[in-house]
Structure 1
Amino acid sequence: MFSSIAKRNLTQSLKTRSFASVASTDAGLPKKYGGKYTVTLIPGDGVGKEITSSVQEIFKNVGVPVEFEKIDVSGLPSDGKKADQITEAVESLKRNKIGLKGILYTPNDAINKSLNVALRKELDIFASLVLIKNIPGVDTKLKDIDFVLVRENTEGEYSGLEHQSVPGVVESLKIVTKYKTERIARFAFDFALKNDRKLVTAIHKANIMKLADGLFRQTVKDIGASEYPQIEVKDMIVDNSSMQAVSWPQQFDIMVTPNLYGSILSNIGAALVGGPGLVPGANFGREHAVFEPGCRHVGLDIKDKNVANPTAMILSSTMMLRHLGLNSYADVISQATYDVLKEGKIRTPDIGGNSTTTEFTKAILSKL
């Protein structure tokens, strides 16, 4: 029942464990045309254009056999017809199967819906994967952090079903289904099995939401016990897991979460290892995969200032390359990125330096 595309493309060998890595070993992927893969590129809002341009420059320099089909989509209220933009993006991803994406802005008003959510629902991109790991050269208070967040992408509090029953009273429906919980649980356990991970922790609030989160908690534990007996299964209440994440993050291996809790914990995780500019991520569906920074910050305040850290986007792009089976390209690009960070001579402001996005990119190119 688990997505064959996602299952085939989760394998990561121990040899590449130190890299931001989701590798592919199977042919169930987009076809090459003229020796190249075509990938949908959605720069997004805020700093998206700057950090995706960094990836494009690196790919060109290395000769990566990927051509980008650029689709301009924006969540900003002043940027045109959202429905037409999302339709164009969806059609491109249906053709290409693979996407590289910046973060789309989501307004707080009641009229404009989240294009990030719409894109995931249109293509049933149900699993979000975020890698939280210390990077040598980036000093943090806590060390030896290496855990994975697996987040259900399509239901929970993000179901988008809410209404005002009477003035001043809003009802918002949180949808949790056994089918989608089983699906995300199998995704998490498959990832654990193929990546030498030993523990899956289900994050929930079943002490209060006894039916919805109770179903999520029990389903994850049942799938683990019946189908993956070699993987240890635990569960933890979300508020406690947030505290544990900032006091003893080393206890976690894989955390599998409903939608909202995964969003919160990805931000906590990013803060633990140096900030949103360092955390890579990916999203998987039955037939499609979209790679984007794991901590979804738009960066409108630093847009066009040439100070954004492109690391998260670069490492997300190397995850994409491994998904395509282009491991050698992924290895040299990720290693060059880690080398620049480890040396510490070129640092963007978010990690204590004063270098520009352009200078950081050039430093990586010099390593290549």
Structure 2
Amino acid sequence: MTQNIAVLAGDGIGPEIVNEAIKVLNVLKQEGLSIDLHEGLVGGAAYDETGSPLPEATLALAKQADAILLGAVGGYKWESLDISVRPEKGLLGLRSALNLFANLRPAILYPQLADASTLKPDVVAGLDLMIVRELTGGIYFGQPRGIRTLDDGEQQGFNTLIYRESEIERIGRVAFEIARKRGSRVCSVDKANVLECTELWRNVMTRIAADYPDVELTHMYVDNAAMQLVRAPKQFDVMVTTNMFGDILSDCASMLTGSIGMLPSASLDANRKGMYEPIHGSAPDIAGENKANPLATILSAAMMLRYTLGEADRADRIEQAVSRVLDQGLRTADIFSEGMTLVSTSEMGDAVVAAL
């Protein structure tokens, strides 16, 4: 049965890095992988064309697809737009409309890149952790929100941090199930000492842990978690946390691996339909210069094969091909070090294709 993939390249370096992932998928198609790719507009590119960062045609395409491969959204040229039509609203709209509540962000240090990390090799060598981020609730979606003028004429910005018990439970169960297939340890990150919303978060995590007696649950305040990620990151197996905390901690974890350009992500619904994207942004400063690292996007395509398309063996092959390319000493600028070979975006993609 042919599975349909919505390809949303987006803005900035998005089209460049997605193009390299498509090269890899096309190799697998030639070998028998039954997928069809369908392109759509999202983000700033969609706004320029249609006046909306998430056109109805794109949303319909995404809903009909079995999986979505996304590049990046946003950039300087759209920062002056009203917040309701900024490129990021297209991304948030997809997550909400498709109910992609579970964001999986692995942070794995390839041994070839130990020197690219800003931390000492002995601190990060062998790093392999998974951050499970709740993606459709919390302060990014909570109402009421806005900017208002007070009686004295001063402006005030306000947002609402809100979670229902059911939202916490479903993301918690995703984390526990993943931990069962890894090191059987979950660290739930909150700020329960000052935020009632995350006090509830901690209570729910503690309750559902009883259903997973084979998994160890610990709790950690988010400020301590940020410090511990830098001090001793290998203490973690699976971290589960709120939308905003997960956004921040996963970017912190990315630098443990040498570059944010190396980290893929998956955003899944209850049936494991997903949207797959690198965790980095659109990098408008290097857009169109053939400099960006496409490996996070290529690895996102591997996650798509593993989690949604049921093609774990082919996902393994892509990941092994990336490792072989790194063994060859090929590096884009973000992971380059002395003695390595500097390559462009397209050259890195071609090298992964050759390794396949």
Q: What residue number does 1:110 align with?
A: 83
Q: What residue number does 2:182 align with?
A: 196
Tell me the number of residue pairs that the alignment of Structure 1 and Structure 2 aligns. Answer: 329
Q: Distance in 1 between matches of 2:108 and 2:212?
A: 25
Q: What residue number does 1:25 align with?
A: none
Q: What residue number does 1:318 align with?
A: 302
Q: Distance in 2 between matches of 1:168 and 1:87?
A: 34
For residues 72-119 of structure 1, the C-alpha deviation after alignment (integer angstroms, 9 at most, x for no partner) is 212369624354734222211221231111122276553435221111
What pairs with 1:98-247 in structure 2 (closer than 5 Å)?
A: 98-105=67-74, 110-113=83-86, 114-138=89-113, 139=115, 140=117, 141=120, 142-161=124-143, 162-165=145-148, 166=150, 167-193=154-180, 195-209=181-195, 211-224=196-209, 226-247=210-231
Q: Distance in 2 between matches of 1:326 and 1:190?
A: 19
Q: What residue number does 1:85 align with?
A: 54
Q: Is the 8 A contact 1:280 1:315 kept in 2?
A: yes
Displacement of 1:208: 1.2
Displacement of 1:171: 2.3
Q: Distance in 1 between matches of 2:34 and 2:47?
A: 36
1:358–1:163: structure 2 CA closer, same or farther, 3 Å change rule? closer
Q: What residue number does 2:235 align with?
A: 251
After TM superposition, the score normalised by the length of structure 2 is 0.87
AA matched with 1:172: N
Q: Distance in 1 between matches of 2:84 and 2:316?
A: 43
For residues 283-324 of structure 1, the C-alpha deviation after alignment (integer angstroms, 9 at most, x for no partner) is 00134311111x232111111100111111111101111231
More helix by share: 2
Secondary structure at the aligned position of 1:173 is classed as coil
Q: Distance in 2 between matches of 1:82 and 1:289?
A: 26
What pairs with 1:250-269 in structure 2 (closer than 5 Å)?
A: 250-269=234-253
Which of 181-190 and 169-178 deviates more?
169-178
Secondary structure at the aligned position of 2:41 is classed as coil
In structure 1, stretches of 5+ residues that fail to align are 1-31
AA matched with 1:358: S
In structure 2, stretches of 5+ residues that fail to align are none
AA matched with 2:305: L
Percent of aligned positions that are identical: 32
Q: Is the 8 A contact 2:43 2:91 kept in 1?
A: no
After TM superposition, the score normalised by the length of structure 1 is 0.85
